[in-house]
Structures are given as structure tokens and as C-alpha cells.
Structure 1
Amino acid sequence: MNHIQNKLSRVLILLSSSIVILTSAQQKDTIKNEKKIEEVKITRSAVKFKNGKIIVSPSSTATGEANNTWEFIKNSGYADASEEGTIKIKQKYTTVYINDRKLRLSGLELKNYLESIPSKLIKNIEVIGTPDSSYSADEQAIIKINLINSSIEGLKLSIGSVLGFTKKMNMSQNLNLNYKSKKFEINTLLSGSHTNILTEVNSQREFRTNIWDITQEQDIKRSSNIYSFLVNYYANKKNKLSLYAEYNPANTQSKLYADNGLPILERISRKDSIFKYNSAFKDVGKSTNLQLNYKFENDSATQKLNVQIEYLNTNKKTNNSFKNYYYQAPEFIDGNQIDDVSSRSINMYIGNLNYTIQTKKLGIWSAGGRISYSDVNNPINITVNNLVSQESIQNYSEEQYALFLEGQKEFGKTYVRLGMRYESNITNFFDNNLKSNSFKIDGFYPNVLVQHNFSDDFQIESSYKKALIRPDYFLLNQLRRKNSDDSMLYTSGNINLRPQIEHEVDLSFYYKTQMLSVGMNYSPNYISTLIVKRGDYLVQEYNNFRLMTLYASLALNKVFKDKYIIKNYFNINYLPIIEYEGFEKGRTSLAVNNRTVLGIVLKNGYAAEASYSFSTDFYDGFFKHGATNNLSITIQKKIPHLNLTTYVIVSDLLRGQKNYDEAIYPIVYKNSSYSDTRGIKLGLYWTFGNQKLKEIKKDESLTNDLKNRNKK
């Protein structure tokens, strides 16, 4: 993995050197042929509310060119993104699409991936709180990232690089090449990032009849890369063919050191366990994605056909190697050497078809279907002192069939969308003894959305959606294993996990660029986790809860004089129902999250942005979660005649991004930690090339005049 990272870094260094040599010779032609870079302006048109979508473009922020895609989503003002890589829209877990390609990533993997893509490549994002029936039933909310299709012909190259300093050094770099002719468009992205974060943890754990106070330190290194290639072929105005290929290797390594205290006389006399713990964790994997798209659109755009074929392969290998050192007077002695090795292999084949027809009387109708097949292999081998201790071989295969029908129509100022989706899932499971088990999940999943426009500035929207969320295959494996991030916690899946059914109701008010949403999510079998005592150990297990969430989200987005911007995204939610069989619920309280973004465009190409977020203490019935805060500042400088943007980012100035969890049911479990993300990042984004504008943009005022004449 390191040699790939080094090669990519060398390539970028060589390219940067070449650019410096070529720039002096080509600078005049480049400036002549490039579109003129104007002073940054923040305009209200950068945000639109349309038919259940909130469309946000990078021009809605002062420092859009300094951000990556993750930062852009986080500071968009209409989504809640945590430092742990979780994205929520109106308290619903969110799936991310790039164009028409679904990202099958979550948590820090998703965050690392999106941090590798500069927001400079984004045309806009669509924030979709209630997805239509063309999306899978398990997708509660969606952020669709639409990348820029070049409107100019020729060759264009962009280079970005970021160097960060915390207690450890972090770096990332990306290279984007775009070539466009009359028939073809080719877009490549090479991107890599390397992060090194030191995490300090203090915890208390119940173990046997004792309570252990444990201090541990974890040094985590993560590397991720993207190598992607997109070809668009425009046969004519009606037909477009696209081929996308991506290779994404990733590498995570961590070393964990834990110590539960000194061997003082009092502890020795009561024969208390005293230990030190070391572990080395490696997670090395790669994924390959191929996608073929065919789009047809007739001259009047009243009929559209989209056919998509996709193949996804993911291979990961994890090795968690650990050892305990127990105290036996007068010294520590070695415990057992344990190695936990697992592989995760997924092959997925997907076919999608979507046909849309637009009529004057009946509105717009869409119909389509989906067929997919996947097989999953998950062998696990645990050895103690190089001897086999536990072994688990679990293989799965799944077939999925789906059909949908949806209609949408505007009745005066009211827009109505009605959709129905049918899904059938057939899963086959094989365990160690080659015993098979099959089960089938099928059902109908409706969604309804109504939006009424009282004026151009004020709309009300209401929606309902039924969702199905299937448990991850890896949550079904019951094998008890040591948690790689904790010296005293084990994890275990649950073969009896049931799929999660969720009913979602939402009412939203939109005024100009402001939004207020209130709603409810209810699930009779919500998939979640709880820590329980099994014998002498604490085990994190997965099971089905009964859960109801009530929420309110408020988004304020105000622009002043095209130079100043204030964004505020406020969330509050409450759990009136949270039940887990066999455990008595404790206290529940309101959970409050808030993010404020202040931006200003200064003279001479300077812009600045400050982002401050906080969450309050809250109780969810089983755990108390501690408050957090994060303050980051970005300063950007544009140099138009060089097509260069430079920037400085200072993160977590208040050292407030801490994590605290404490069980409030009858068990001793406390965990407080801080992953040191404080630091300074220095970055640049440089664009150059020889592209010529082929399309003349119509003057908006002239277009409006023509429309008014036609009305007369």
C-alpha cells in the first residue's frame, strides 16, 4: 500500500515540476483560452427547493474552492454530518450517490472517500429527504452529488494538494484530467490521502467482580486512494453512453496500548487483576467498480430511457493480533498470543432500467425495475499461540427483484408525487457445517410527497415513506471476537436479526432559503446495539429494538450584499419509545445538534469561513452521551491570472471533539476519548489547460424579456 502512495506522490511532484516549466511558455495562451475567473460572489440562486429536493451548489459558500466534498456537505446547511462519518437528513441515515452511482461505504470509509474529491469538481448536490420509488426501499434519505460535465472543448488539468500538521503529519493530493471533443468526454481522477491520528481513551469496565480503570492509547494510520476513469460518448443529441471504472485500495493500521493501573499493595493483597495490553490491527482491502450507462432522450424530452449495468467487487483482509501481560509479583508475565484473521469478499451484479414519459394531461410517469445478485464470503480464523481456537466459515448469496411505478403532476400550485415499489429478496446462508438456510423478504413500499407553492418564496411539503433495511451480513455472525478499538470489549453478531421496517412522516416549510422540518420515524424492529455481560466479559451485541423518534430541523441560510453569508443548521430529537427486551429503559432527554457557518468574501481574492458545531449531553434510555464542540477556520486566496487557489484550514481549535458514553442501565461501562484532530492544513488547487468555450450562455434578462413578450 505504501509503495502505491509513494508512486502517486512522485507522479504529482513530477507533474507539478513540469507545470512550473510549461506555465511560463503557455501562460498567455492559457489565460486567453480559459474562461475569465471573476471575483467570488455568493448568490441566493445557489440554493433551490424543487419537488422534494434541496439543490445546493458550491457558490453557496465563501470558500467553496478550498473545500473537499465532505466539507461541502457538512457545511451545506441542510445535512447533519458528524466527525465519525455519519450523514443524516432530518434524522434519517443517508445514502450518498455520485451522479447515478451509489457509494456502498459508511462511517470513516465514506468520510475518507469524500475527502479525496475536491468540491471544485461538483456542479451541485441534491439533498433528498424522501427518495422516490426509483431508489431502493432501504434508502431512507439521499445526497446525490452531481459532478461537472464540461461545456468547453479541449484539455484541462487540475491538481490539488494538502499538507496537514497535528501531532502527526497528514497529507492528501489529487489530480483531475478532463478532455472533451464533440463526441467524447474523458474524465480521470487520481486521489490519495494519508492520515495519522492519536487517540487517548480513559474507561471503566465491569469485569468479573471487579471494576477496572483502564487508560489506553491508540495510534491510527489510514490511507485511501481513488483511481477512476469516466468516458462519455455522445452518439447524437438523443443517445449517450457512459463507462465508469474505479479502483479503490484502502489500508488501516492501528496500534493500541492499554494499562489498567499500577500493582500497588492494596490491589495485590485482594488479588485484583493487573494487566497491560498490546494489539496491532490491520485492515487492508480493495474495491473495484464497473458501471455501464445508456441514456436515451427524444427531441422534445418527453421520453427518457436509462439502462444501467454494474459490477462491484470488494476484498478485505483483517488481522487483529493482541496479547495480555498479567502481573505476577514481582513482574509482568506474557499472556497468550491471539490472532484473529478474517476475510470479506463481495461480488455484486446489478441491472437497473428506468423509463419516463411526460404527458400534458396525466403528468410525468416513471416505471422500471432492478435485478441484482450478490455472493458474500466471510471466513474467520482465530488462533491462540498459533493453534486453531475458533473457526467460522459463513457464505451468503442474495437475489433481489424490484419493480416500481410512480406518477407526478402539478395541479396549479400543488405538486403531487405518488409511488409504489415492490421488492423481493431471497437469501441463502451456509455455515461451517455446510448447513443451508433460506429466507425470503418481500413486500410493497409506498411513498407520497405533496408540495404546495403559496408563492415563489414560500412552500409547504408533506411526505410519507415506508422503508426496509436489511441487516448487514457481517452483523449475523455470532462468533465472539475482541473489539479492535477496545482492550476489554468483545463483539458478537446475531443470526436472528430481523429486517428493519420503518415508517417516516415529515412536514417541511420552505421560505426563500430557510427550512423548518418536523417529523416522526417509527420502527417496530429497529436494528441497533447494546453492551451486555456474558459470563466474565462485556460483549457488544446487535438486536432489534422498538423505536420512535420525533425530530425538528431548522436551516437558516442568509446572504448579505453577495459577500456575507450566515448558515445555521439546528436539529433536536427525542425518543418517546425505545425498548429492548430484557432490559429496563432508563432516562431519555432531548438531543440537540447545531452547526453555524459564517463566511465573508474580501478584496483581492481573499475569502474566509468559520464553522462551529456543538452537541449537548443527552440520554437515549440506555446510555448517556457527552457534549461535543468543534471550531474550524478556513482562509482562501484566489490568484486568477494563475488559475490558482491557495488556502489554510485550522481545525478543532477548542479541542472539543471528544467522545463520552456511559451506560445508565445495570452495568459498569464508561468511555471517554479524544482523537487529536487539531492542526493546520495548507493546500492549493491549480487548474490549467487549453480549452475553448463552444457554447454561448444566454443572458438571463434577455431570456426573461422574451418570455414576457410571449405572454403578451
Structure 2
Amino acid sequence: MIYLHHITSRALILLSSLIVILTSAQQKDTLKNEKKIDEIKITRSAVKFKNGKIIVTPAGTATAEASNTWEFIKNSGYADASEEGTIKIKQKYTTVYINDRKLRLSGIELKNYLESIPAKLIKNIEVIGTPDSSYPADEQSVIKINLVNSNMEGLKLGIGSSLGFTKKMNMSQNLNLNYKSAKFEINTLLSSTHSNVLTEVNAQREYKNNIWDIAQNQDIQKSTNIYSLLVNYFADKRNKFSIYGEYNPVNTQSELNADNGLPTAERVSRKDSIFKYNSMFKDLGRSTNVQANYKFENDSATQKLTVQFEYSNANRKTNNSFRNYFYQQPSYLDGNRIDDSSSRNINMYIGNANYTMQTKKWGTWSAGGRFSYSDINNPINITVNDVDSQESVQNYSEKQYALFLEGQKEFNKTYVRLGMRYESNITNFFDQDLTSNSFKIDGFYPNILVQHSFSDNFQAETSYKKTLIRPDYFLLNQLRRKNSDDSMLYTSGNINLRPQVEHEVDLSLYYKNQMLSVGMNYSPNYISTLIVKRGDYLVQEYNNFKMMTLYASLALNKVFNNKYIVKNYSTVNYLPIMEFEGFEKGKTNFAFDNRTVLGIILKKGYAAEVSYSFSTDFYDGFFKHGKTNNLSITLQKKIPHLNLTTYLVVTDLLRGQKNYDEAIYPIVYKNSSYNDSRSIRLGLYWTFGNQKLKEIKKEDSLMDDLKNRNRK
């Protein structure tokens, strides 16, 4: 993995050096418009509330040029992002889009991917709490990232690099190249990250009627790379073609060691469980994505057509090799070596077509359809001392058809959006015994949004949406397997999992840049997990629960003198209903999460930002989740005449990003862990090129063309 990382780093350096040579002869005209900037200014226009969207630009962040996309979203002030890679808007899980391209990532993989993209490339993000009907029914909320398009002819290059230190070294590099002419725009992104995280876990487990106290250490190394190319072709004012390609290889390796203590006379006499445990985990894979788009606008810009085709492939191979060493007086006995190998290959083909028509009398109407086909192969082989023990070969194929119709219109100061989406999912399942099973899910998924403007600064918005979330394929596989992150826990899927239907109701008030939202989410078959005892084993299983969430979100965003900014995003939620058949519900309480960001613009290009977040203890009826906190500081120095930004980032100063989970139903399961996220990171971002000083002459809008013809 380190060798591949070095190759990627060298490729970035060679490419950037080549471009420097090609453009050095014209450096006297390089981006003079950027050199005129003496300091950054924060403006109120950095946030807009419009038709169910919160639009946030980097102008609302003091140290935007030192941030990556993940940090920008986390500190935006209108979304809740955890260190585990989960993003929520108004307590709803969030899907991320980049330039109309859906990211099919979650958790740490999503976080690592977004950390690889500099915030310098962001034009704005759209925070969408209630997506319209053009989005799939399983998307509860959306963050749409719109990247910057150049308005200058010629070549522009951005190079970023950072070096961080915890107990071990972390590195990242990125290179972005943009070339624009009258007809073409070409954008490439090459990014490479290497991280090393040390985890310490203290755990209590019930095993064979004994309590095991386990000290566990895990060393995790991850490498993520992005290679992407976007080509836009502007045929004329009406027609635009684009094609996007991305290749994303990942490499994760971890070593886990666990020890539940030395034998003592007392422990030996009562035959307590005394053991050592070692495992090596490898996850190698790559994903490929190709997307083609065509957009058409008529002369009056009242009719638009978008056609999109996409192909995605993800191929992952994992191996978890582990061994137990049990104590039998007077020494430890070497246990069996078990290898759990699996691969997961996904091919997905997607076609989308959306048509929009604007009318003066009836407002704006949209209609469209979607078709997708995917096939998934997921063979698993478990061997004991190189002898086959268990095997599972599962193949899935899925077809999805969707149609939607939506209308939106403004009545004086009131905006109304009504949409209906129909989806049909047909899934076929085959296992190693050639046993087949198929099922079909059909349904209508409405959404309603009404926004009223009492004044330019004060708006109220209410919405309703029905969503459908299908369980991921790996959650259906019932094979019991060792958890790669826990020395005493197994995992198992559930073939009987039902798709999750959820009803969402929200009321939001917006005043200037402030937001207050209250709402309810209800699901009769919410997909979640429990730890249960199966014979001598503790197994993490997935089931359907009945759940209702009540929530309130408050966002405060205040700018002073265009130099100082204070952001505060708080959420409170409570679970009045959290039920699962056969298990008695325990204690529940209010969960409170808060993030505060303080930014200041100093003289001579300096800027600073402090981010502090915390969460309180939370009981959800089955588990207690412990409180956490995180304090991070960013210092930025902008050197305009060199087009250079340097920065220093210090994270988790209080070492408060600890995890604590304890089962409060009748089972012994308790975790206390710390992922060592403390770091001191040095970085820079440098832009240069040979772009012309004169901006590309903007063509008159299609609407202006029509007006001019009417005048004649």
C-alpha cells in the first residue's frame, strides 16, 4: 500500500512539474485578478434560503482555502457531520451529490473521499432537507456539491499538499487542472491520501456465562485515491454535452491485538476465560464510474431537457485472518487459524431523463423517468487451517423503474411544490444451492413543500415526504462471520429484512441567516441492529424496528464587520417509540449535539477558525451512547502575489473524541474506545496558470435574445 502511495505521489509531482515548464514562459500574466485580493471578506450573501434549499458558499468560512470538502460541510452550520462519516440534515441520513453525480459511499469511505477534495474547488453546496420527486425515493435528504467552473480562458492549475502527525504520519496530495476555451472545458482531479489511525478499546463481553474484560488495540492504515476527468462541450447556447470518468482505488489494512489479562490463581481456579487474539485484515478494491450528460434549453429558456447515462462498477476483496490463543495451565495453547475471504462485485447501469417546462399561468412542471439494472456477486469462503469450512455464494440482480411528475408555482409570496414518484423494484436472488427467490416492491412516494415569505428576511417552510430504503445486500446474508474490528463479536445478516418505509414531517423558520426546524420521522419497520447471544457467541444482527423520532434543529449564523463570524448548529432529538419484538425497551432520554465555529479575518492575509463540538449521553432504549467532544483550530495565511495559501490544522486538542456504547437490555456488552484522531497538519494550496486577464465574453441569455427579437 505504501509503495502504491509513493507511485501516486510521484505521478502528481511529475505532472505538476510538466505543467510548470509548459506555462513558465507566460507567468507574467498569470491570474493577476487573484493577486489583487489583499484579504478575504465574509459576506451575508454566503447563505441563501430558496425553495426548500439552503445554499452555502465558501465566502461564509474564514479559512475556506485551508479546508477540504468534508470540513466545509461539517462547519457549514446547517448539517450534522460526525467523525464516523455520517451526515444528517434535520436528523435524516444524507446522500451526497457532486455536480449531479451521486456518491455511493457511506461512513468512513465517504469521509475519506470528501477529505480528498479541496474546498477551494467548491462554488457552493445545497443543503436539501426535503428532496423533490426527481430524486430516488430512498434519499431522505441531500447535499449537492457544485464545483467551480472557470470564467477565464486558458489554463489554471491548483496543487495542494498536507503532512500530518499523530503517533504516525498522514499525508495527502491533490492536483486540479482546469482548461477552458470558447467551446470546451476540461477539468481533472488527482488526489491521494494515506492515513494511519490507532484505536484502543476496553470492552466487557459475556461469553460462556463468564465476563471477559478485553484490552484491544488496532492499527488501521488506509489509502484512498481519486483520478477523475470531466469534459464539457458547449455546442451552442442551447446544447451542452459532458462526460465524466472516475477511477477510485482504495486499500485498507489493519492489525488487531486483544488480551484479556494475565492468568491469576483466582481466575484459573474459577476457570475464567483467559485468551489472546490476533487478526490481520485487508480490504483492497476499486470503483469506476462513467457518466454522460446532454442538456438542452429552447430559445426562451422555458423548456429544458436533461438526459443522463451512467455506468458504475465496484470490486472489493477482503480477507480477515485471525487466531485465538487460549490459556491452559501452565501456558497458552495455539488456536486454529481462520481465514475469511470474500469478494463483492457490483455492476450498475442507470438511465435518467428529466423534462422541465415553465409556464406563466401554471408555474413550472417537471416530468421524468429512471431505469437502473444492477447485478451483485458476493462469494464468501471461510477456511480453518487451510481446510474449507463454510461457503456462501449469493448473487443478486435488481431492476428498478421510476416515473415522477412535479409542479411548482409561486403565488405572490408563497411557493408551493407538489410531487409524486412511482417506483417499482424487482429483485432476484440466487444462492450456492441454486435456490432462487424473487420479490417485487411497488409504491407511490409523494412529497409536498410550502414556503411563505413574510418579508425579505423571514420565511416559513413546511414539508412532508415518504421514503423507501431498501436494505443493503450484505445485510441479507445470514452467514455468521467474525467482526474485523472486535475480538469477541460476530456479525450476521437477516434474509427476512423488510424495506424501510419512513414518513417525514418538518416545519422550518428562517430569519436572515438563522434557522429553526422541528419535525417528526416515523417508520414502522426501521432497519437497525442488536447484539444477541446465539449459543456461545455474541452476534450483531440486523432487524426491523418500529421507531419514531422527534427533533429540533437550530442554526445561528452571524457575521460582524465582514471579518468575524459565529456559527452554531444544535440538534435535539427524542425517541418516543423504539420497539423490537422480543426485547424489552429500556431507558430513553433527549440527545443533544452542538457544533460552534468561530472565525476571524486578520490583516496581511491571516485568518483563524476554531471549531468545538460536543454531544451528551444518549439512551435510545437499547444502548447507552457516551458523550464526546472535539476541539480543532485552523490557521491560514494567504499570499496573494504568489497565489499561495498555507495553513496549520490542529485537531482533537482535548482528546475528547471517544466512543462509549453499553447495552441496557439483558446482555453484557460494553465498549470504551478512542480512535486517535489528534493531529498537527501542515499544508499548502497553490494556483497558477496562463489564463487570459480578459474574462470570456458572456453570451446574452436566451431570454434576452427573445426580448430583443420582440422589440424588433
TM-score, normalised by the number of residues in structure 2:
0.97
Q: Residue 344 in 1 paired to residue 332 in 2?
A: no
How far does the alpha carbon of each residue in 1:490-518 deviate from its partner, in whole angstroms, 9 at most, with x for none? 00000000000000000000000000000
2:695 corresponds to: 694
Contact 1:31-1:641 within 8 A present in 2 as well: no
2:128 corresponds to: 128
Q: 1:402 to 1:475 in 2, by over 3 A?
A: same
Instruction: Letter of the 2:60 partner, please give it.
Output: S
1:705 corresponds to: none
Query: Per-residue deviation at 1:51?
Result: 0.1
Q: Residue 100 in 1 paired to residue 106 in 2?
A: no
Q: Residue 39 in 1 paired to residue 55 in 2?
A: no
Instruction: Letter of the 1:154 partner, please give it.
Output: G
Q: CA RMSD in A?
A: 1.4
Contact 2:35-2:641 within 8 A present in 1 as well: no
Q: Distance in 2 between matches of 1:226 and 1:191?
A: 5
Q: Residue 182 in 1 paired to residue 166 in 2?
A: no
Instruction: Letter of the 1:394 partner, please give it.
Output: Q
Q: 1:149 to 1:223 in 2, by over 3 A?
A: same
Instruction: Letter of the 1:670 partner, please give it.
Output: K
Q: Distance in 1 between matches of 2:241 and 2:273?
A: 66
Query: Per-residue deviation at 1:329?
Result: 1.6
1:412 corresponds to: 412
1:279 corresponds to: 279
How far does the alpha carbon of each residue in 1:541-565 deviate from its partner, in whole angstroms, 9 at most, with x for none? 0000000000000000000000000
| Higher alpha-carbon deviation: 25-34 or 190-199 | 25-34
Contact 2:38-2:604 within 8 A present in 1 as well: no
How far does the alpha carbon of each residue in 1:463-503 deviate from its partner, in whole angstroms, 9 at most, with x for none? 00000000001100000000000000000000000000000
Q: 1:32 to 1:44 in 2, by over 3 A?
A: closer
1:110 corresponds to: 110
Query: Per-residue deviation at 1:261?
Result: 1.0
Give 3-state SS (helix, strand or coil) of 1:13's partner. helix
Query: Per-residue deviation at 1:36?
Result: 3.4
2:61 corresponds to: 61
Q: Distance in 2 between matches of 1:60 and 1:364?
A: 31
Contact 1:33-1:691 within 8 A present in 2 as well: no
Q: 1:38 to 1:356 in 2, by over 3 A?
A: farther
Query: Per-residue deviation at 1:2?
Result: 3.7
Contact 1:549-1:577 within 8 A present in 2 as well: yes
1:310 corresponds to: 310
Instruction: Letter of the 2:695 partner, please give it.
Output: K
1:358 corresponds to: 358
1:707 corresponds to: none
Q: Distance in 1 between matches of 2:475 and 2:427?
A: 15
Q: Residue 425 in 1 paired to residue 398 in 2?
A: no
Q: Distance in 1 between matches of 2:230 and 2:555?
A: 35
2:149 corresponds to: 149
Give 3-state SS (helix, strand or coil) of 1:7's partner. helix
2:202 corresponds to: 202
2:650 corresponds to: 650
Query: Per-residue deviation at 1:354?
Result: 0.2
1:606 corresponds to: 606
| Higher alpha-carbon deviation: 398-407 or 264-273 | 264-273
1:175-324 to structure 2, matched below 5 A, reads 175-324=175-324
Query: Per-residue deviation at 1:4?
Result: 3.2
Give 3-state SS (helix, strand or coil) of 2:114's partner. helix
1:703 corresponds to: none
1:499 corresponds to: 499
How far does the alpha carbon of each residue in 1:168-206 deviate from its partner, in whole angstroms, 9 at most, with x for none? 100000000111011110000000100001000000000
Give 3-state SS (helix, strand or coil) of 1:294's partner. strand
Q: Distance in 2 between matches of 1:311 and 1:12?
A: 27
Q: How many residues align?
A: 698
Query: Per-residue deviation at 1:15?
Result: 5.1
Instruction: Letter of the 2:238 partner, please give it.
Output: K
Q: Distance in 1 between matches of 2:123 and 2:35?
A: 16
Query: Per-residue deviation at 1:440?
Result: 0.2
2:399 corresponds to: 399
Query: Per-residue deviation at 1:6?
Result: 1.2
Q: 1:215 to 1:618 in 2, by over 3 A?
A: same
Query: Per-residue deviation at 1:149?
Result: 1.1
Query: Per-residue deviation at 1:3?
Result: 3.6
Query: Per-residue deviation at 1:37?
Result: 3.0
Give 3-state SS (helix, strand or coil) of 2:361's partner. coil
Give 3-state SS (helix, strand or coil) of 1:266's partner. helix
Query: Per-residue deviation at 1:26?
Result: 4.7
Q: Distance in 1 between matches of 2:200 and 2:579?
A: 32
Q: Distance in 1 between matches of 2:22 and 2:642?
A: 12
Query: Per-residue deviation at 1:27?
Result: 4.0
Q: Distance in 2 between matches of 1:144 and 1:31?
A: 28
Structure 1 runs not aligned, ≥5 long: 699-712
How far does the alpha carbon of each residue in 1:154-181 deviate from its partner, in whole angstroms, 9 at most, with x for none? 0111100010000010000000011101
Contact 2:196-2:221 within 8 A present in 1 as well: yes
Q: Distance in 1 between matches of 2:114 and 2:363?
A: 37
Contact 1:33-1:690 within 8 A present in 2 as well: no
Q: 1:21 to 1:434 in 2, by over 3 A?
A: closer
2:334 corresponds to: 334
Q: Distance in 1 between matches of 2:23 and 2:370?
A: 49
Q: Distance in 1 between matches of 2:655 and 2:257?
A: 22
Give 3-state SS (helix, strand or coil) of 2:554's partner. strand
How far does the alpha carbon of each residue in 1:115-142 deviate from its partner, in whole angstroms, 9 at most, with x for none? 0000111100000000000000000000
Query: Per-residue deviation at 1:525?
Result: 0.1
Contact 1:163-1:172 within 8 A present in 2 as well: yes
Q: Distance in 2 between matches of 1:35 and 1:293?
A: 35
Instruction: Letter of the 2:384 partner, please give it.
Output: V
Instruction: Letter of the 1:52 partner, please give it.
Output: G
Q: Distance in 2 between matches of 1:62 and 1:593?
A: 23
Structure 2 runs not aligned, ≥5 long: 700-712
How far does the alpha carbon of each residue in 1:427-465 deviate from its partner, in whole angstroms, 9 at most, with x for none? 000012001100000000000000000011000000000
Q: Distance in 2 between matches of 1:18 and 1:548?
A: 57
Q: Distance in 1 between matches of 2:371 and 2:38?
A: 47
Give 3-state SS (helix, strand or coil) of 1:152's partner. coil
